[in-house]
Amino acid sequence: MTAVAAAGSTGTVVHRLPVWAKLLGLTAGCAVILVHPLAGLAVVVACYALARQGPRAAWAQVRPLRWFALVLFGTQVLIADLPTALTSVSRIVLAVLLAGLVTLTTSTSALLAGLERLFGPLRRLGVDPFRLSLVLSLTLRSVPIIADLAARVREAQRARGVRWDVRAFAVPLVVGVLRYADLLGEALTARGLDDPA
């Protein structure tokens, strides 16, 4: 879900929607994708068109997941059949595309503020809305980073002629994720967000 936006596209109706409306739309869109992937495809195409995001922006959202999608497709073909494999993979890809559009059309600060307002009523239950919204925002932003890291690890292995090996793939990926987590933790600490009080 890399933030690749088309030039001059920041004034669209999708960009101007409040965060709660985008999240509600994301939930409804994912429900459509789950029930009927072809209808979900139409929803995704329409939303990208409304946001004036072209094929390059869409590809940037799913590119980091291409190896995962291929492995999932192959596994589904082996344990089920071709139609099931196509349906399963298309649902995931379409959901990622829709979620990616939310991050493409929403700044991190706006997303954080919107989630904080959304979780406001949970304050009565002892939940800190800011911290909860921060966790969800970081999760949304971290998923594409980790997926891109996985893609780069695999590409580096292919460039060196290394055949697919789960251990050889997992070790550098885990090291990279831990390094990213350390950097993220240091950034949060520098802003005083590690204080549990």
pLDDT value at residue 6: 39
Give the pLDDT confidence of 59-69 residue by residue, as tens digits: 888 887 777 78
pLDDT value at residue 3: 42
Q: Is residue 3 part of a domain?
A: no
9 φ, ψ (degrees, to nearest 5): -100, 5
Q: Is residue 80 part of a domain?
A: yes
Burial of 11 (0-12, 13-18, 19+ CB in 10 A): exposed
pLDDT value at residue 33: 94
Q: Which letter, b or e, does each residue of 72-87 get, where b requires 16 or more Cβ atoms within 10 Å of its Cβ?
A: bbeebeeeeeeeebee
pLDDT value at residue 65: 78
Cα atoms in the Cβ-side hemisphere of radius 13 Å centred on 90? 18
Number of domains comprising the chain? 1
Q: Is residue 117 part of a domain?
A: yes
C-alpha 190/C-alpha 187 separation (Å) is 5
Q: Is residue 57 part of a domain?
A: yes
Q: Is residue 162 part of a domain?
A: yes
Q: Is residue 156 part of a domain?
A: yes
Q: Is residue 130 part of a domain?
A: yes
pLDDT value at residue 192: 64
Q: How far is CA 90 from CA 34, 84, 93, 138, 163, in A?
A: 10, 10, 5, 25, 27
- Tens digits of pLDDT across the chain (197 residues): 444 443 345 678 888 898 889 988 999 999 999 999 999 999 999 999 999 999 998 888 888 777 778 888 888 888 888 988 899 999 999 998 998 898 889 887 787 787 778 778 878 888 777 777 777 777 766 767 777 777 788 788 778 877 766 677 777 878 887 887 777 777 667 666 555 44
Q: Please give the residue range of the domain that contains residue 130.
A: 13-190
Q: Is residue 133 part of a domain?
A: yes
